[in-house]
Amino acid sequence: MNEKKTKNETWEWIKALLIAFGLAAIIRVFLFTPIVVDGISMMPTLEDGDRMIVNKIGYSIGKPDRFDIVVFHAPEQKDYIKRIIGLPGDEVEYRDDTLYINGKPMEEPYLDKYKKEVTEGPLTEDFTLEGKIQSKVVPEGHVFVLGDNRRKSKDSRHIGVIPIDEIIGSTKMVFWPPNDFGFVK
């Protein structure tokens, strides 16, 4: 009788572990996944090596918002992390280190600290959307993205607009290293 109880208990543990692994796999594949920031293109907001959680369900039930930090499949068969600047139908222009969306100047408070550190020239060079992607507006179903480190970022100025269906998800939370733990803007 004792041997049967041990087998039942072992089987219950195996089932519990299988269920736990199954749930973890479902959560990782469909809901949330970790990502490691690779490079300096999002500095000073994100540092090389920061570990973040990507929300994969946000855009399946909602739409991207301007200034969201997103992870997407880039044309180079690599995942990039950048900030959404232009939404479908937007005119995007940079003039005198100021972002203009549909002709209106936009605040970018996440760049304030970095702009103060720049001593030579603007942080972001002047450009128009038409000059970068040969279109006056961001096409339907696409977004225009930039890295916060505007001088050292390979973004929509170089690779073009990003199809919304190539966006894996948005990210707002750094969980490692501990001194960077928290939400980013």
CATH at 129 = 2.10.109.10
Asked if residue 17 is part of any domain, the answer here is: no
Catalytic residue (choose from 56, 82, 156, 170): 82
Question: Are the beta carbons of 139 and 162 closer than 8 angstroms?
Answer: no
Cβ–Cβ under 8 Å, residues 182 and 70: no
What local confidence, expressed as pLDDT, does residue 61 receive?
67
pLDDT at position 2, please?
A: 67
Beta-bridge mates of residue 73: 79
CA distances from 42 to 27, 67, 153 (A): 27, 12, 8
Nearest Cα neighbor of 92 from 63, 133, 47, 55 is 133
Is 69 within the bounds of a domain?
yes
Confidence band, pLDDT 50/70/90 cuts, at residue 131: confident
Phi, psi of 160 (to 5 degrees): 85, -175
Q: How many residues does the chain have?
A: 185
What range defines the domain where residue 82 resides?
35-183
Share of the chain above pLDDT 90, in %: 23
Q: Is the pLDDT of residue 151 over 70?
A: yes
Residue ranges of E strands in 68-122:
69-73, 79-86, 92-95, 98-101, 104-106
Q: If you ran DSSP here, which 8-state letter would residue 57 be given?
A: S
In whole angstroms, what is the distance from residue 63 CA to residue 70 CA?
12
Residue 10 lies in a domain: no
Q: How confident is the model at residue 74 (pLDDT cuts 50, 70, 90)?
A: confident
In angstroms, rounded to a whole number, what is the distance separating the alpha carbons of residues 169 and 72? 7
* Annotated catalytic residue within 41, 153, 156, 170: 41
User: Is 107 within a domain?
Assistant: yes
22 part of a folded domain: no
82 belongs to the catalytic site: yes
Active site residue 7: no
How many domains is the chain partitioned into structurally? 1
Token output for 10: 């072992």
DSSP class of 45 = T
